[in-house]
Amino acid sequence: MTHRWTRQAVLTAAGGLVHHQRRTITSLLLWPTGGRHGVREGDRAFGYLRGEVPVMLAMLLVLVLEGAAMAFLIPWPVVHLAALVLHVGLVAQVLGSVAAGITRPHVVSAGELRVRYGAAFDLRIPLHLITGVRLDRRVHDGGTVRLDGDRLEVVVSARTSVTVELAEPVPVTLPLGRTGAASLVRLHADDPGEFVRTLSARLRAAGTGDEPVTQDRAR
């Protein structure tokens, strides 16, 4: 039984990585054209990586310079080739992460809220399930996308800035394939005030639930 569950977990994680790579490649193709995945006419897109992109680009520059230096310093062809392949892979991964974060924003549409984290995570929440949204700035320890009981946290730079409350749990699939359900979602947006105002307006237009809570709560 344990062996079967372990094998299933490995297969699930491998499938998740394949899907992640496909989404990353799509993002790399969209990025030069300024395209944004899943954003249609009338939708509002909200970025969340404004604070991280400069750090990621600086990391990219360091990798490129390090690779160039190693090309001159390593005299052995086999080691040189291995180092080159490693650095090209790392550069592609960083570029893909930047591209995915830019081209896959959070999306507020007429019928749903789409919460995302690059190519790793994508959650669709129907508007009729949302009962409240508020500014809620919090600092977090640990990972980026995590599920604690029925609370989902999509953390960027160790913080979230918006809390969304749901009438009932929605199914969640985490980046490595673990599943669960969330009835409260915390996320970060570069402009959390505008995010809350836009989502609140869409909820009022859809006539769903009570008047959303919008006051700021710092933690």
> Model confidence over 11-28: pLDDT tens digits?
455 555 666 677 778 888
Residue 146 lies in a domain: yes
pLDDT band at 208 (very low <50, low <70, confident <90, very high): low
**How far is the CA of 91 from the CAs of 3, 56, 180, in angstroms?**
36, 10, 33
Question: E strands of the chain, at which residues?
Answer: 44-46, 106-108, 112-117, 121-126, 130-139, 145-148, 151-154, 159-173, 179-187, 217-218
Query: What pLDDT does residue 185 have?
Result: 98
What confidence score (pLDDT) does residue 47 get?
Answer: 96
Helix (H, G, I), strand (E, B), or coil: what is residue 171? strand
Residue 60 located in a structural domain: no
pLDDT (tens digit per residue) in 123-179: 999 999 999 999 999 999 877 999 999 999 999 999 999 999 999 999 999 998 889
Residue 82 lies in a domain: no
Alpha-carbon span 4 to 44, nearest angstrom? 44
Q: Scanning the structure block, which residue is given the tokens 């400069």? A: 54
The average confidence (pLDDT) of the chain is 85
Q: How many domains does the chain have?
A: 1
Q: Is the pLDDT of residue 210 over 50?
A: no
What is the pLDDT at residue 176? 80
Per-residue pLDDT of 164-193, as tens digits, reads: 999 999 999 999 888 999 999 999 999 999
Helices 77-103 + 2-30 axis angle, to 10:
80
Domain carrying residue 14: 2-33+43-48+101-218
pLDDT for residue 197? 97
Stretch 37-51: mean pLDDT, rounded? 94
